[in-house]
Amino acid sequence: MAILSNLKTLRGLNYDDFWHSNHLYNVLMGSKRSKKSLTTALKLISLILQHPKNNILAIRRYFVDHKKSTFPSLCWAISKIFTDPHTNQDHSHTYFSISSPKSKDLYIIYKPTGQQIIFHSLDDNQRVNSLSAFKGNLNISWIEEAYEIESIEAFDTLTSSITQADSPYKRFYLTFNPFLETSWLKTRFFDLSQEEKTSQSIFTKITTFRDNEFLGKDDLLTFQNLQINNPKLFEIIGNANWGAAEGVIFPNFIVRAFSSHNMDILVQKSSLPYRHMSAYERENLIYRQNPRFVDHYGLDYGFSNHPATFVRVTEDRRSKILYCHCPYFYETNLSNIQLSDKIRETGKSKCRIFSDRSEPKTNSELYTLGIKNIKKQTYKTIEEGIKRMLNYKIVIQNTPHSKPAIQEFTNYRYYYDPRLDQLTRKIAPSADHYIDAVRYSLCDVLRMDLTGFLYV
């Protein structure tokens, strides 16, 4: 069979620079229908055929996503390469052993040599460096939708676990749709000079639907109509410019300098008529009166990879603004004793603090450690809390310590399902510890004060 001829025909001409790249990092950001994933799949299968010790590790943030992205793309590439152009007969199963798409453990094995494609996810407890191939090493990695990796630190930890050993070389292929300009991917790969890219062995390419010469007339007409009817969206999903194309949950938050001390004064003046009330009366009646500025406190638990986060939110009830202060702390590996000590250090241990209801044991331990006014959040769903937040204009305090908060609000969005070609109500994977703490804090707000709650 003319396998090499098939490859040349399938990959087209617009990806020649990517196809011939021998760099350590090969990064493709592409618009919809730019065939970046299918071209990468073809490239990976060609690497299997190129050297008998090449093995591939396909990585997604969540394992279930392999079944609708990397796995079918690689199966398509194998089928296309091993289909006889004269008889149109598919010989792929003669050369490859392929698991069922419904299988719990996905795999692809090249029968003549035993080379493997192993599918792995970052939610898997099994470490990458504990994975092994029958022959050679897992020296080639494909990270699909690379923006789902939350930080450069997580990426570096992952890539340092991949070994070359007796394999001929080591390669990383990263593919993703246009994403936010604040993404670590832009800083790490795209904002470098050509000299820096060369010295670090980085190849980058931004692709669009124009690079896919196999698109039909109706496909091209769809993009033309999008350019006319929604030019802002077209810039992202048509021209592959940086930005969140769809699903952004908090599009109108702003970052602005404000003084926490001045907020203290506003809250104190606002609550002067109610100082004679007991704590119980204030908690239950303050919202039925008319103090303009009110403080709320939220606590999101975490430990190893997830920081415990304690926040203060000042609500301007008249203007419907939430002033989100920089977090009191945003730290990992805090024991409950350390957590209680840190809350006391803030001077807010006697305030009503809403926390995650999924950890009743932690709530109970904090109570015994002296944090007596901790309450579990009362939302039935995440969406209920999000709706509360959407009643307000959100202002994040502009300080260096607010960087995690800004990143979270920027990246927080609904998950786009490429198989269905539509947004879902599922939240896309990203850090959300600060947002969760803010969300919990608003359990304090009575539903009658949320003018848009039933309509958002």
285 and 424, same structural domain?
yes
Tally of CB atoms within 10 A around 329: 18
Q: What Å distances lie between residue 139 and 13, 62, 106, 110, CA to CA?
A: 27, 21, 18, 16
Residue 249 inside a domain? The answer is no
Identify the domain containing residue 110 by its residue range. Answer: 3-207
Q: Given 190, 207, 224, which residue is the final one in a domain?
A: 207
Which range is least confidently modeled, 157-171, 184-198, 241-255?
241-255
Total tally of structural domains belonging to the chain: 2
Are 81 and 173 part of one and the same domain? yes
CA 389 to CA 393: how far, in whole Å? 8
For tokens 């999924």, name the residue: 358
Kindly report, residue by residue over 21-58, the tens digit of the pLDDT. Answer: 999 999 999 988 899 999 999 999 999 999 999 999 99
pLDDT digits (tens, 9 = 90+) for 292-350: 899 999 999 987 778 899 999 999 988 889 999 999 999 888 888 999 999 999 999 88
Residues 200 and 276 in one domain: no
Q: Based on the domain organization, do 275 and 374 belong to the same domain?
A: yes
Alpha-carbon distance of 127 to 133, in angstroms, equals: 14
Confidence check: pLDDT of 456 > 60: no
Provide the residue type at 268 as one letter. Answer: Q
CATH of the domain at 301: 3.30.420.280
Q: Are residues 18 and 126 in the same domain?
A: yes
Tokens of 430: 């990203």
- Please provide the DSSP assignment of 254-308 as one string: EEE---HHHHHHHHHHHTGGGTTS-HHHHHHHGGGS--SEEEEEEEE---SSS-E
How is residue 67 annotated by DSSP? G
- Percentage of residues in the chain having pLDDT higher than 70: 83
Average pLDDT over residues 389-410: 86
**What was the pLDDT predicted at 164?**
82
What CATH number is attached to the domain comprising 100? 3.40.50.300
User: Would 200 be classed as within a structural domain?
Assistant: yes
What is the pTM (predicted TM-score) of this model? 0.59
- pLDDT score, position 40: 95
Q: Please check whether residues 123 and 201 belong to one and the same domain.
A: yes
Verify that 306 and 439 share a domain, yes or no. yes
What's at 222, amino acid-wise? T
Chain centroid to Cα 196, Å, comes to 27
Domain boundary among 184, 207, 230: 207
Residue 365 is assigned to a structural domain of this protein: yes
Tell me: pLDDT of 5 over 60.
Answer: no
Is 177 a domain residue?
A: yes
In this structure, is residue 220 part of a structural domain?
no
Question: What pLDDT shows up at residue 184?
Answer: 87
CA 244 to chain centre: 11
Q: Are 203 and 23 a contacting pair, CB within 8 Å?
A: yes
Is there a domain that residue 225 lies in?
no
* Together in a domain, 180 and 262: no
Query: Is 292 among the domain residues?
Result: yes
| 173 & 275 share domain | no
Report pLDDT for 246. 60
What is the spatial distance between Cα 391 and Cα 451, in angstroms, rounded to a whole number? Answer: 7
- Give 159-178 pLDDT, tens digit per residue: 888 888 888 899 999 999 88
